[in-house]
Structure 1
Amino acid sequence: MTIFLQVQINIVLSILLFILLGHSYSNINRKKITNRLVIWIIGLTWVTLILETLSVLLNSPNLRQFIVLHKLVNIIGFIVTPTILFLGYIFSKEWANRYQKEKIKVNNILLLPLIINGIGTLISHNGGGIFHVSNENIYERGPLFFILPCVSYTYFAYNLYFIYKHRKKFTNAELVIFSSFNIIPALFTSIQLKYSAYLTTWTSTAIIIVIGYIFILNDQAYRDSLTGLENRLSYDKYTQNIGYKKLSKLFAVYIDIDGLKTINDQYGHYEGDEAIKAFASLLHESFPVRQKKLIRLGGDEFLILLERQPIEKVVTYIQNLTQCVETYNNKGEKPFRLSFSYGMAGYTKAYKSIYQLLEYADQLMYLQKQNRKNRL
């Protein structure tokens, strides 16, 4: 692969990331910390690709007048590189934290590799650090070059460890995508470490970021903006594509918040939204299983779909929800109290389709709600 071809690839990917950067800044909700991290990761990767391209173009005895610029380009590049990997860890943490009351704390010890790498990079100006630019304006790896791969693989390994440790907070698709963020760049980094002529690290990273961004946009399209639960679009997709094997091991739980209209009338629609968000959070807390779909159908109606769960487990999860709601009410943090009605149904051969199963669960929920009103 010639230098000219490598530069071309970097330029093409830089243009693509620049477009993504503009799209992400203009179209995703920047109030969410995960989205802000995505913008930073895309932006810094774009900067790194530009810096790598400049470093390759400046690496020539014919451009000795730019030796200071050549050193500066490499200094900034070597400082930014592990910063992107650290932000990748923060992104994984925040993604896992999206619906959790007890937040996962940042492991501050992970700042130490950034500091060590920064010191090693800054002393490279005089040729004794991570890299060296000779008087002939030729880039060389310095005596402390080992610091950068050690720092990089520390972040790769720790992020994979974090994802595995908190795997129950990720869906199967998220586990694959987020693991790939680390595994694929790590593999291509090893190629560039062995064969420095091949610029594989940031080209592979850029491609993975593009794939990850598409995944995030797709995820947001199927999310309810108020609660973060899956929305009706996700529900429609699931019901249209579910196969018999999943259907034969499916439980559906329809849930309706009692008295939401009263909350809206007495305390205002803001508190009504707060009630919906609080209940959604309790749903996440009460159903700690990966193979589930928590869906807000609209208003105060929710649907939980559980695959491959015995009825005893489903009953336990509903009991968990009842207890969580009671605990929430006893805290008295809000002027209103939460309560809910539900209907639960498991698939049998008596149902001709998933829609009949869901309709029956819906009927059971309204029957329970009506019985409660009659008792009151």
Structure 2
Amino acid sequence: MNVLLQVQINIVSSILAVIILGHAYFNMNRKKIRNKIFLWILALTLLTLILETFSILLDGPEMRPYITLHKLVNILGFSIAPVIPFLGYMFSKEWVSRYQKEKIKSNYLLFTLPLVINLIGALLSYKGNGLFHITGTNTYERGTLFFILPTITYIYFSYNLYFIYKLRRKFSSSELVIFSTFYIVPAISIYIQLEYASYLTIWNSLTIILVFAYMFILNEQAYRDSLTGLENRLSYEHYAQNINKKRLQKLFIVYLDIDEFKMINDQFGHLEGDEAIKIFADLLVESFRVKHKRLIRLGGDEFLILLNAQKQEQVEACIQLLIQQVETYNTRAMKPYRLKFSFGLAGYTKAVDCIHQILETADQAMYAQKQSRKGY
């Protein structure tokens, strides 16, 4: 009965992991590398929970007939454990690079070397005293090389946190919290389980974090434009419905539209049209580097920028920078067409009742600019 009480939280966590893994498998785009990695993290965490449960159930003299199975379960569990933080780094890297032209490069040979060392230590445990030792009475003990596993794990955790801090400008504030928690909480849990072996904290805490991470990923997919990585119309509608009206006194809206976009699609194909949209979105990110902004693709070739707590001069400077960036791109890209855009700028006034009125004013200004350019 004491053994069942010890593993009951593992059983509950395993059931939760099965549910999340099943839901994620059928609801995530499995063609995307980052989603594949996340599914592997979920699956390996579930497998490790199961292996840890069996390791406890198989421990003790009364289970001596199953001593070989006991050893194999622990070898597999010890071998898998550091793979999960390694995959965590790969997931973070793919997440940051998901909308970038150039992927972040890594020395995977160097990164996988600790996994090989850990695997050797686990295999040595079958007949000797490696990462663990199963006594003649079928009792589990930590081996003389046990220190290898937590050391490697903490190395991965530390590097992952360094990676996130180094590229913190590429993460949103909510992303920083989620990704940091993914490594900090398990690191604390490992320390607790190292000190108190009967407390099975590591994989249970990681399962809970993965649940929250999955919720975050689903939310990101719902409010993010898959082509450009910018926020989408749903995100704008959510923002408009929940914005505190008192903050509208410091709000500017820039409405942008790619000129002659239909011509690009008709003459050069929709793939080239998608490329033009992605390029323009990248130029928006490069040009509007101020804080407190939201870059949104409303749909098609229409874009929206919301800027809080900015002076109009700053907003106009960003627009001028965008104009320069587009011209520079046209000169360097040597495309058979020129990337052009029209824009409208509007800010809060006391006569405005809601954010949609500011948007309408910006839309009218953009349309007037576009009309004035026709025939130019």
TM over 0.5: yes
What amino acid is the match of 2:209? I
- Which residue type is aligned with residue 259 of structure 2? D
What is the aligned partner in structure 2 of residue 337 from structure 1? 338
The answer on 1:99 being equivalent to 2:91 is no
When residues 114 and 34 of structure 1 are mapped into structure 2, their CA distance, relative to the original with a 3 A threshold, is same
Q: Distance in 2 between matches of 1:245 and 1:142?
A: 63
Query: Is the deviation greater in 203-212 or in 14-23?
Result: 14-23
Deviation at 1:334, TM superposition (A): 4.5
Partner residue, 2:37: 37
Three-state SS of the structure 2 residue aligned to 1:127 is coil
- In 1, Cα distance between the equivalents of 2:347 and 2:120? 61
In the TM superposition, what is the alpha-carbon distance from 1:189 to its structure 2 partner?
Answer: 1.4
Distance 2:245 2:107 in 1: 44
- 5 Å matches for 1:1-376? 2-108=2-108, 109-244=110-245, 246-289=247-290, 291-332=292-333, 334-374=335-375, 376=376
Shift of 1:310: 3.3
Q: 1:320 to 1:66 in 2, by over 3 A?
A: farther
Distance in structure 1 (CA, Å) of the matches to 2:290 and 2:96? 14
Gaps of 5+ in 1: none
Question: What TM-score results when the alignment is normalised by the length of structure 1?
Answer: 0.93
> What are the Cα deviations for residues 149-196 of structure 1, in whole angstroms up to 9, with x where unaligned?
111111222111211111111111111111111111111111111000
Q: Distance in 2 between matches of 1:285 and 1:79?
A: 43
SS of 2:297's partner is strand
The answer (yes or no) to whether the contact 1:131–1:140 under 8 Å persists in 2 is yes
Q: Alpha-carbon deviations, 1:339-367, whole Å to 9, x = none?
A: 11111223343433222222222122112
C-alpha deviation, 1:9, in angstroms: 1.6
SS at match of 1:248: helix
- Deviates further, 248-257 or 134-143: 248-257
Distance 1:148 1:195 in 2: 16
Letter of the aligned partner of 1:329 in structure 2?
A: N
Task: Kindly indicate whether the alpha-carbon contact (under 8 Å) linking 2:58 and 2:66 is maintained by their aligned counterparts in 1.
Answer: yes
Q: Decide whether the 8 Å contact of 1:131 with 1:144 is kept in 2.
A: yes
Name whichever of 276-285 and 191-200 sits farther off.
Answer: 276-285
TM-superposed CA distance for 1:231, in Å, is 1.3
Query: Which stretch shows the higher mean deviation, 308-317 or 293-302?
Result: 308-317
Whole-angstrom distance in 2 between the partners of 1:89 and 1:353: 43
Count the aligned residue pairs. Answer: 375
Partner letter of residue 263 of structure 1?
I
Secondary structure of the residue that 1:196 maps to in structure 2? coil
- The CA distance in 1 between the partners of 2:28 and 2:347, in whole Å, is 38
Identical pairs, percent: 64
- TM-fit CA distance, 1:140: 0.5
RMSD (Å), alpha carbons: 2.0
Residue identity in the other structure for 1:123:
L
CA apart distance, 1:2: 4.3
Whole-Å separation in 2 of the counterparts to 1:310 and 1:100: 30
Question: Residues 111, 320 of structure 1: CA spacing in aligned structure 2 closer, same or farther, 3 A cutoff?
Answer: farther
Task: Say if 1:121 and 1:131, in contact at 8 Å, map to a contact too.
Answer: yes
TM-score (norm 2): 0.93
Shift, 1:33, TM fit? 1.5
SS in 2 for 1:126: coil
CA spacing shift, 1:289–1:158, aligned 2, 3 Å: farther
**What is the rounded CA distance, in whole Å, between the counterparts of 2:290 and 2:125 in structure 1?**
50
For residues 277-320 of structure 1, give each alpha carbon's deviation from its aligned partner in whole angstroms, at most 9, with x where no partner exists: 22223223333355322111111111011223333432333233
User: 138-147 or 353-362, which moves further after superposition?
Assistant: 353-362
Which ranges of structure 2 fall in alignment gaps of 5 or more residues? Answer: none
